[in-house]
Amino acid sequence: MSLRDHVSRFADSDAGLSIILAIQITIIFVVAPLAASGAASVQWVEMLRFGLAATAILIVARTTRAKAAIAVLFAATWLASLHWPLGPAPHPLAQPIAVAKIAVTLAFDLIVVAVVAGAAFGPGKVTVHRILGAIILYLDVALVFANLYRLLVVARPLAFAGLPADPNARFSELLWFSLSSLTTSGTGALAPLHPLARSLSSLEAVIGQLYPATILGRLVTLHASTES
């Protein structure tokens, strides 16, 4: 079998979902907390997101339109990070710039969700890779809601009690709050004060309870039935 055949076989498989899951776990549970504490550069997040985007484009995405959308949105997030770094911005456009940066990041996360969902729940045999793809979607819910909380904080700075002043630490805290809401494990010192923040947190908790029990559980059952 030629190298081209090996590449084609790998590209036609669901293995890209496992790669994306590994990258997501590294970003959420390793790099983001280290960046918030100053132990790692935030550029590590951008490099990992580049790897995620490349995997989604080269392996997981099935249509040219999806590949192009991922490439364009990743480029937008990279340019936003390059030209609008996190930190205090004294000029009058500080709030619109922050909204634009979070919006393109949210759009990138949503297109990745769409591509991964198409691969995980598309026609074909339910493999372990597809189950891992469903776990990606579960973690992506936390990322999407974390960015929604960030947008809310930009519009209403007092929407949460206990937010740190440092932008990097703030994102880490909101991501932690989002994961806590998703898994209903408690929110600790960070508390939602604005009614919309509370509503989003409640919605995320509902999704966090229903998704593993219904969609993820169904995939595991289908995989077990095909293997038996």
Q: How many CA atoms lie within 13 A of 12 on its CB side?
A: 8
What's the confidence (pLDDT) of residue 188? 64
Across 174-186, average pLDDT: 90
Between 162 and 186, the higher pLDDT residue: 162
Rounded distance between C-alpha atoms, residue 226 and residue 228, angstroms: 6
What's the predicted TM-score (pTM) here?
Answer: 0.86
- Residue 201 clears pLDDT 60, i.e. is over it: yes
- Residue 86 clears pLDDT 60, i.e. is over it: no
Across 100-117, average pLDDT: 93
The number of angstroms, rounded, from the C-alpha of 50 to the middle of its chain's C-alpha atoms is: 13
Buried b (16+ CB within 10 A) or exposed e, 133-166: bbbbbbbbbbbbbbbbbbebbbeeeebbeebeee
Read off the pLDDT of residues 139-157 as tens digits, 9 standing for 90 and up: 999 999 999 999 999 999 8
Helix (H) or strand (E) holding 22: helix 15-26
Rounded distance between C-alpha atoms, residue 132 and residue 54, angstroms: 18
Cβ atoms of residues 193 and 160 within 8 Å = yes
Residue 161's φ and ψ, nearest 5 degrees, are -100, 135
Rounded distance between C-alpha atoms, residue 34 and residue 45, angstroms: 10
Confidence class for position 93, pLDDT limits 50, 70, 90:
low
Rounded distance between C-alpha atoms, residue 42 and residue 93, angstroms: 23
Task: Average the pLDDT over each of 2-6, 163-167, 194-198 and give the range with the smallest value.
Answer: 2-6
Read off the pLDDT of residues 6-50 as tens digits, 9 standing for 90 and up: 444 444 457 899 999 999 999 999 998 888 888 887 788 888 999
- Residue 53 clears pLDDT 60, i.e. is over it: yes
Query: Residue 87 has which token pair?
Result: 């930190």
Query: Residue 136 has which token pair?
Result: 């990606």
